[in-house]
Amino acid sequence: MGLEEKLPSGVLLASVEKLANWSRQSSLWPATFGLACCAIEMMTSGGPRYDLSRFGMEVFRASPRQADLMIVAGRVSQKMAPVLRQIYDQMSEPKWVLSMGVCASSGGMFNNYAIVQGVDHIVPVDMYLPGCPPRPEMLIDAIMKLHEKIKHEPMGPNRAKLKAEKGEELALPPSSVAHASAKTRDERLRTVPPNEVEGKRSSTIPLQLLEER
Amino acid sequence: MGMFDPLKGFGVTFATMFKKVVTEQYPEDFYPSAPRWHGRHQLNRHPDGLEKCVGCELCAWACPADAIFVEGADNTEEERYSPGERYGFDYQINYLRCIGCGLCIEACPTRSLTMVNFYELADDDRRKLIYTKEDLMAPLLPGMEEPPHPMRLGENEQDYYVQGPELARGRGVPEGETVETSKEEAIQ
> Domains in chain B and their CATH numbers?
32-136 (3.30.70.3270), 159-187 (no CATH)
- The torsion angles phi and psi of B110, rounded to 5 degrees, stand at -110, 10
What pLDDT score does A210 carry?
46
Q: What is the mean pLDDT of chain A?
A: 82
Q: Give the A window 131-190 contacts with B, CB below 8 Å.
A: 131-132, 134-135, 137-138, 140-142, 144-145, 149, 172, 174-176, 178-181, 184, 188
Q: Are strands A96-100 and A69-73 parallel, antiparallel or unpaired?
A: parallel
What pLDDT score does A134 carry?
92
**Are B122 and A142 a contacting pair, CB within 8 Å?**
yes
Write the residue in B25, B26, B65 that is nearest to A108 by C-beta: B65
Burial of A118 (0-12, 13-18, 19+ CB in 10 A): buried
Residue A3 confidence class, pLDDT cut points 50, 70, 90 = low
Sort out which chain A residues have CB atoms less than 8 A from B43's CB and list them: none
Answer whether B65 sits within 8 Å of A109, measured CB to CB: yes
In angstroms, what separates the C-alpha of B126 from chain A's closest C-alpha? 7
What's the CATH code, domain A27-191? 3.40.50.12280
- Bind-site residues of B for [4Fe-4S] cluster: 53, 56, 59, 63, 98, 101, 104, 108
- Could you give the 3-state DSSP secondary structure of residue B47? coil
Answer whether B122 sits within 8 Å of A145, measured CB to CB: yes
Q: Where are the domains of chain A?
A: 27-191
The residue of chain B with its CA nearest to that of A49 is B23
Residue A191 has pLDDT above 80, yes or no: no
For B56-105, the pLDDT digits (tens) are 999 999 999 999 999 999 999 889 999 889 999 999 999 999 999 999 99
In angstroms, what separates the C-alpha of B27 from chain A's closest C-alpha? 5
Q: CB pairs under 8 A, 24+ apart, for B149-152?
A: B149/B48, B149/B49, B149/B50, B149/B80, B150/B77, B150/B80, B151/B48, B151/B50, B151/B80, B151/B83, B152/B48, B152/B50
Answer whether B28 sits within 8 Å of A181, measured CB to CB: yes
For B154-178, the pLDDT digits (tens) are 888 888 888 776 777 777 766 666 6
Answer whether A129 sits within 8 Å of B28, measured CB to CB: no
Indicate the pTM of the whole model.
Answer: 0.86
For B110-159, the pLDDT digits (tens) are 889 998 888 888 888 888 888 888 888 888 877 788 888 888 888 888 88
Whether chain A has a CB inside 8 Å of the CB on B95: the answer is yes
Answer whether B129 sits within 8 Å of A130, measured CB to CB: yes
Integer Cα distance of A173 and A183 in angstroms: 18
What pLDDT score does B61 carry?
94
Is A37 part of any known ligand binding site?
yes
Residue A114 confidence class, pLDDT cut points 50, 70, 90 = very high
What pLDDT score does B93 carry?
93
Q: Give the B window 63-82 contacts with A, CB below 8 Å.
A: 64-66
Integer Cα distance of B50 and B181 in angstroms: 15
A-interface mutation test, from B96, B115, B134, most A Cβ less than 10 A away: B96
Sort out which chain B residues have CB atoms less than 8 A from A102's CB and list them: 65, 95-99
Which of A32, A83, A84 minimizes the C-alpha distance to A57?
A32
Integer Cα distance of B44 and B112 in angstroms: 5
For A124-143, the pLDDT digits (tens) are 999 999 998 999 999 999 99
Q: Name the more confident of B46 and A157.
A: B46
What pLDDT score does A213 carry?
44
Residue B187 confidence class, pLDDT cut points 50, 70, 90 = very low
Most confident stretch, A57-66, B28-37, B63-72, B111-120 = B63-72
Integer Cα distance of B97 and B38 in angstroms: 14
Answer whether B24 sits within 8 Å of A179, measured CB to CB: no
